[in-house]
Copies of this chain bind each other. A is one copy, B any other.
Amino acid sequence: MMKDIANATTPIELWFDFASPYSYLSIMRIEPLAQARGARILWRPFLLGPIFRALGWSSSPFVQQSEKGAYMWRDVDRQCRKYGLPWKRPSEFPRRGLLPTRMALLCAYEPWIGEFCRRIMRFNFVEDRPIESAQSVAEALAGLAPDACRLLAAAEAEATKLQLRNQTEAARRQGIFGAPTFCVGSELELFWGDDRLEDALAHAAAGGPPSRGTELGLSS
Protein backbone atom coordinates (compact mmCIF):
# COMPACT_ATOMS: atom_id res chain seq x y z
CA MET A 1 0.00 0.00 0.00
CA MET A 2 1.28 3.51 -0.81
CA LYS A 3 2.16 5.63 2.18
CA ASP A 4 1.98 9.38 2.48
CA ILE A 5 5.61 10.49 2.04
CA ALA A 6 5.15 13.71 3.99
CA ASN A 7 3.66 11.89 6.95
CA ALA A 8 4.89 8.32 7.03
CA THR A 9 3.32 7.44 10.38
CA THR A 10 -0.40 6.81 10.42
CA PRO A 11 -2.11 9.43 12.61
CA ILE A 12 -3.76 8.38 15.86
CA GLU A 13 -7.30 9.56 16.63
CA LEU A 14 -7.83 10.30 20.31
CA TRP A 15 -11.55 10.13 21.14
CA PHE A 16 -12.11 11.63 24.58
CA ASP A 17 -14.65 13.12 26.96
CA PHE A 18 -13.61 15.87 29.41
CA ALA A 19 -15.56 14.16 32.21
CA SER A 20 -13.74 10.85 31.80
CA PRO A 21 -10.96 10.14 34.34
CA TYR A 22 -9.14 7.74 32.01
CA SER A 23 -9.34 10.38 29.25
CA TYR A 24 -7.55 12.67 31.70
CA LEU A 25 -4.65 10.20 31.86
CA SER A 26 -4.35 9.94 28.07
CA ILE A 27 -4.66 13.66 27.42
CA MET A 28 -1.87 14.31 29.92
CA ARG A 29 0.35 11.56 28.48
CA ILE A 30 -0.17 11.44 24.74
CA GLU A 31 1.83 14.34 23.25
CA PRO A 32 5.39 13.36 24.20
CA LEU A 33 4.68 9.69 23.44
CA ALA A 34 3.25 10.51 20.01
CA GLN A 35 6.12 12.88 19.29
CA ALA A 36 8.66 10.17 20.11
CA ARG A 37 6.90 7.95 17.57
CA GLY A 38 6.51 10.74 15.02
CA ALA A 39 2.75 10.20 15.08
CA ARG A 40 0.28 13.01 14.48
CA ILE A 41 -2.63 13.20 16.92
CA LEU A 42 -6.14 13.86 15.67
CA TRP A 43 -8.13 15.24 18.62
CA ARG A 44 -11.69 13.91 18.65
CA PRO A 45 -13.77 15.32 21.51
CA PHE A 46 -17.20 13.73 21.89
CA LEU A 47 -19.87 13.16 24.52
CA LEU A 48 -20.10 9.83 26.32
CA GLY A 49 -23.58 10.58 27.70
CA PRO A 50 -25.52 9.94 24.46
CA ILE A 51 -23.37 6.85 23.80
CA PHE A 52 -24.19 5.41 27.22
CA ARG A 53 -27.88 6.15 26.73
CA ALA A 54 -27.82 4.45 23.32
CA LEU A 55 -26.28 1.40 25.04
CA GLY A 56 -29.14 1.40 27.52
CA TRP A 57 -27.44 2.99 30.53
CA SER A 58 -28.82 6.08 32.19
CA SER A 59 -25.36 7.27 33.30
CA SER A 60 -21.69 6.31 33.48
CA PRO A 61 -21.08 2.67 34.51
CA PHE A 62 -18.91 4.16 37.28
CA VAL A 63 -22.01 5.83 38.67
CA GLN A 64 -24.42 2.99 37.99
CA GLN A 65 -22.23 0.35 39.61
CA SER A 66 -20.83 1.27 42.95
CA GLU A 67 -18.16 -1.49 43.04
CA LYS A 68 -16.81 -0.50 39.64
CA GLY A 69 -16.96 3.17 40.58
CA ALA A 70 -15.10 2.67 43.86
CA TYR A 71 -12.46 0.65 42.07
CA MET A 72 -12.05 3.23 39.31
CA TRP A 73 -11.25 6.07 41.75
CA ARG A 74 -8.65 3.90 43.46
CA ASP A 75 -7.18 2.78 40.14
CA VAL A 76 -6.91 6.26 38.61
CA ASP A 77 -5.23 7.51 41.76
CA ARG A 78 -2.66 4.70 41.48
CA GLN A 79 -2.15 5.31 37.76
CA CYS A 80 -1.52 9.01 38.41
CA ARG A 81 1.13 8.16 40.98
CA LYS A 82 2.68 5.70 38.51
CA TYR A 83 2.81 8.33 35.76
CA GLY A 84 3.74 11.23 38.05
CA LEU A 85 0.54 13.13 37.28
CA PRO A 86 -1.26 15.40 39.75
CA TRP A 87 -4.68 14.15 40.80
CA LYS A 88 -7.63 15.17 42.93
CA ARG A 89 -10.88 13.28 42.83
CA PRO A 90 -13.51 15.72 41.54
CA SER A 91 -16.42 16.52 43.83
CA GLU A 92 -18.78 16.41 40.85
CA PHE A 93 -18.87 13.36 38.56
CA PRO A 94 -19.45 13.15 35.71
CA ARG A 95 -18.75 16.87 35.43
CA ARG A 96 -20.75 18.81 32.85
CA GLY A 97 -18.46 20.05 30.07
CA LEU A 98 -20.50 20.85 27.00
CA LEU A 99 -18.92 24.24 26.27
CA PRO A 100 -15.25 23.12 26.48
CA THR A 101 -16.13 20.08 24.37
CA ARG A 102 -17.61 22.33 21.68
CA MET A 103 -14.55 24.56 21.92
CA ALA A 104 -12.19 21.59 21.56
CA LEU A 105 -14.13 20.48 18.51
CA LEU A 106 -14.00 23.95 16.99
CA CYS A 107 -10.24 24.20 17.58
CA ALA A 108 -9.31 20.55 17.05
CA TYR A 109 -6.75 21.41 14.37
CA GLU A 110 -5.10 24.33 16.15
CA PRO A 111 -1.48 23.71 17.15
CA TRP A 112 -2.38 24.51 20.78
CA ILE A 113 -5.30 22.08 21.06
CA GLY A 114 -3.30 19.72 23.31
CA GLU A 115 -2.51 22.48 25.79
CA PHE A 116 -6.15 23.64 25.80
CA CYS A 117 -7.35 20.11 26.57
CA ARG A 118 -4.78 19.65 29.33
CA ARG A 119 -5.89 22.90 30.96
CA ILE A 120 -9.55 21.87 30.95
CA MET A 121 -8.59 18.45 32.32
CA ARG A 122 -6.49 20.07 35.06
CA PHE A 123 -9.45 22.24 36.09
CA ASN A 124 -11.57 19.09 36.42
CA PHE A 125 -9.15 16.51 37.85
CA VAL A 126 -6.53 18.57 39.68
CA GLU A 127 -8.24 21.79 40.78
CA ASP A 128 -11.73 20.31 41.14
CA ARG A 129 -13.50 23.30 39.62
CA PRO A 130 -16.30 23.70 37.09
CA ILE A 131 -15.36 23.61 33.40
CA GLU A 132 -18.70 24.52 31.88
CA SER A 133 -18.69 28.31 32.24
CA ALA A 134 -17.54 30.75 29.54
CA GLN A 135 -15.11 32.11 32.12
CA SER A 136 -13.41 28.72 32.64
CA VAL A 137 -13.12 28.15 28.92
CA ALA A 138 -11.79 31.67 28.33
CA GLU A 139 -9.22 31.07 31.06
CA ALA A 140 -8.12 27.85 29.36
CA LEU A 141 -7.72 29.78 26.09
CA ALA A 142 -5.56 32.48 27.66
CA GLY A 143 -2.34 32.99 25.75
CA LEU A 144 -3.31 30.38 23.18
CA ALA A 145 -5.95 32.03 21.01
CA PRO A 146 -5.84 35.77 20.25
CA ASP A 147 -9.61 36.31 20.23
CA ALA A 148 -11.33 34.23 22.91
CA CYS A 149 -14.59 36.17 22.63
CA ARG A 150 -14.98 35.35 18.97
CA LEU A 151 -14.21 31.68 19.64
CA LEU A 152 -16.70 31.53 22.51
CA ALA A 153 -19.43 32.91 20.25
CA ALA A 154 -18.53 30.38 17.56
CA ALA A 155 -18.53 27.52 20.09
CA GLU A 156 -22.09 28.45 21.09
CA ALA A 157 -23.27 28.73 17.48
CA GLU A 158 -25.84 26.29 16.15
CA ALA A 159 -23.34 24.93 13.60
CA THR A 160 -20.91 23.84 16.34
CA LYS A 161 -23.69 22.24 18.36
CA LEU A 162 -24.72 20.27 15.28
CA GLN A 163 -21.12 19.33 14.60
CA LEU A 164 -20.75 17.89 18.11
CA ARG A 165 -23.92 15.84 17.69
CA ASN A 166 -22.49 14.52 14.41
CA GLN A 167 -19.15 13.79 16.03
CA THR A 168 -20.80 11.79 18.81
CA GLU A 169 -22.88 9.94 16.22
CA ALA A 170 -19.67 9.16 14.32
CA ALA A 171 -18.16 7.73 17.53
CA ARG A 172 -21.14 5.41 17.84
CA ARG A 173 -20.89 4.30 14.22
CA GLN A 174 -17.21 3.45 14.74
CA GLY A 175 -18.17 1.13 17.60
CA ILE A 176 -16.85 3.40 20.34
CA PHE A 177 -18.44 2.60 23.73
CA GLY A 178 -16.09 4.31 26.18
CA ALA A 179 -13.30 6.85 26.51
CA PRO A 180 -10.55 7.29 25.78
CA THR A 181 -10.60 5.30 22.56
CA PHE A 182 -7.77 5.42 20.05
CA CYS A 183 -8.62 4.79 16.44
CA VAL A 184 -5.83 4.06 13.99
CA GLY A 185 -5.72 3.78 10.21
CA SER A 186 -8.33 3.47 7.51
CA GLU A 187 -9.35 0.11 8.96
CA LEU A 188 -10.42 1.97 12.12
CA GLU A 189 -8.54 -0.30 14.50
CA LEU A 190 -9.92 0.54 17.95
CA PHE A 191 -7.92 0.61 21.17
CA TRP A 192 -10.03 1.26 24.26
CA GLY A 193 -8.67 2.80 27.42
CA ASP A 194 -5.57 4.66 28.53
CA ASP A 195 -3.89 1.27 29.01
CA ARG A 196 -3.85 0.80 25.24
CA LEU A 197 -2.26 4.18 24.37
CA GLU A 198 1.20 2.69 23.81
CA ASP A 199 -0.19 -0.21 21.73
CA ALA A 200 -2.21 2.20 19.60
CA LEU A 201 0.88 4.33 18.97
CA ALA A 202 2.91 1.23 18.08
CA HIS A 203 0.16 0.25 15.64
CA ALA A 204 0.27 3.72 14.09
CA ALA A 205 4.06 3.63 13.85
CA ALA A 206 3.95 0.18 12.23
CA GLY A 207 1.98 2.12 9.63
CA GLY A 208 -1.40 0.84 8.73
CA PRO A 209 -2.88 2.34 5.59
CA PRO A 210 -2.99 6.17 5.63
CA SER A 211 -5.68 7.46 7.94
CA ARG A 212 -8.91 9.13 7.01
CA GLY A 213 -7.73 12.63 8.00
CA THR A 214 -7.18 13.58 4.37
CA GLU A 215 -10.16 11.68 3.04
CA LEU A 216 -12.39 13.73 5.31
CA GLY A 217 -10.83 16.87 3.92
CA LEU A 218 -9.36 17.80 7.30
CA SER A 219 -6.17 19.79 7.45
CA SER A 220 -3.79 20.21 10.35
Contact = CB atoms under 8 A, between A and B. Distances in A.
Contact of A67 (B68, B74, B175, B191): B175
Contacts of A190: 71, 74
Contacts of A78: 199
Interface in A34-89: 55, 65, 67-68, 70-71, 74-75, 78, 82
A109 interface: no
How many of these chains are in the complex? 2
Contact of A82 (B55, B65, B178, B199): B199
Given A67-B175, A68-B177, 18 more contacts: A55-B65, A55-B67, A65-B177, A67-B176, A67-B177, A68-B178, A70-B175, A71-B175, A71-B177, A71-B190, A71-B192, A74-B190, A75-B191, A75-B192, A75-B196, A78-B199, A82-B199, A195-B195
20 contacts: A55-B65, A55-B67, A65-B177, A67-B175, A67-B176, A67-B177, A68-B177, A68-B178, A70-B175, A71-B175, A71-B177, A71-B190, A74-B190, A75-B191, A75-B192, A75-B196, A78-B199, A82-B199, A193-B195, A195-B195
A20 to B, nearest CB: 16
Contacts of A177: 65, 67-68, 71
Contacts of A178: 68
Contacts of A68: 177-178
Contacts of A193: 195
Nearest to A189: B74
A68 B175 CA distance: 8
A15 to B, nearest CB: 13
Contacts of A55: 65, 67
Interface in A175-220: 175-178, 190-193, 195-196, 199
Nearest to A194: B195
A193 B74 CA distance: 14
Nearest to A191: B75
